[in-house]
């Protein structure tokens, strides 16, 4: 799978220094600056320490089965156009080399909803989906409005089992309904139910 992050640091250079510091015990395969520069720090075939504890689609030890991409952004401002263009140029090759389906391109917050929020509400997932690099749902309402089933659908889509409801809803909305707040509603259920249908293969991702 591919896991997207934001650096939450003051500059790409500061992030690069930290990601290359053995004492920090953190790394990623790629770092993309706001101006579109790309650094590869870890070979794609090797394990990078970017994900930490969490799971996706029933798989844990995400570091062993994912490519980590860090985006130079504090989380408080939009992602720059050169950066997005560089990401969109980088991802197809990774996905082809490792047979990564769009449904397995995820946010750090997707695999660790209780402790992470990156890349955050300002990241344009819909833009990636239009290019076939991730998933999105804008279709008509689907049948069924039993809100109690939200957690079941979310787990079927890939979110970690037994995630507290508030954390799960927050992570889901960060990605699929940015800036939405308040109690869960029927549209949340419609979206997650439709997305679940995309996740037809519940086996471990190849990467």
- From the list 49, 29, 50, the residue with the least C-alpha distance to 41 is 29
Active-site residue, from 17, 44, 70, 166: 70
Beta strands in the chain (DSSP E): 2-6, 30-32, 38-40, 67-71, 105-107
CB 99 within 8 A of CB 207: yes
For residue 23, CA distances in Å to 17, 18, 150 come to: 11, 9, 41
For residue 24, CA distances in Å to 15, 73, 83, 109, 131 come to: 11, 19, 25, 21, 35
The CA distance from 80 to 33, in Å, is 9
Clarify whether 143 is annotated catalytic.
Answer: no
CB 127 within 8 A of CB 80: no
Residues annotated catalytic, as ranges: 70
């Amino acid at each position: 799978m591919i896991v997207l992050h934001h650096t939450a640091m003051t500059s790409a250079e500061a992030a690069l220094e930290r990601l290359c510091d053995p004492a920090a015990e953190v790394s990623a395969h790629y770092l993309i600056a706001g101006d579109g520069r790309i650094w590869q720090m870890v070979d794609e075939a090797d394990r990078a320490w970017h994900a930490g504890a969490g799971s996706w689609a029933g798989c844990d030890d995400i570091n062993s089965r994912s490519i980590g991409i860090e985006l130079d952004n504090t989380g408080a401002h939009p992602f720059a156009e050169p950066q997005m263009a560089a990401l969109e140029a980088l991802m197809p090759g990774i996905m082809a080399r490792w047979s990564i389906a769009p449904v397995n391109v995820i946010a750090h917050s997707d695999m660790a909803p209780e402790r992470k929020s990156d890349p955050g509400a300002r990241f344009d997932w819909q833009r990636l989906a239009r290019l076939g690099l991730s998933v999105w749902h804008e279709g008509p309402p689907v049948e069924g409005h039993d809100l109690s089933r939200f957690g079941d659908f979310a787990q079927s889509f890939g979110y970690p089992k037994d995630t507290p409801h508030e954390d799960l809803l927050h992570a889901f909305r960060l990605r699929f309904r940015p800036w939405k707040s308040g109690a869960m509603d029927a549209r949340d259920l419609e979206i997650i139910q439709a997305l679940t249908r995309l996740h037809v293969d519940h086996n471990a991702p190849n990467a």
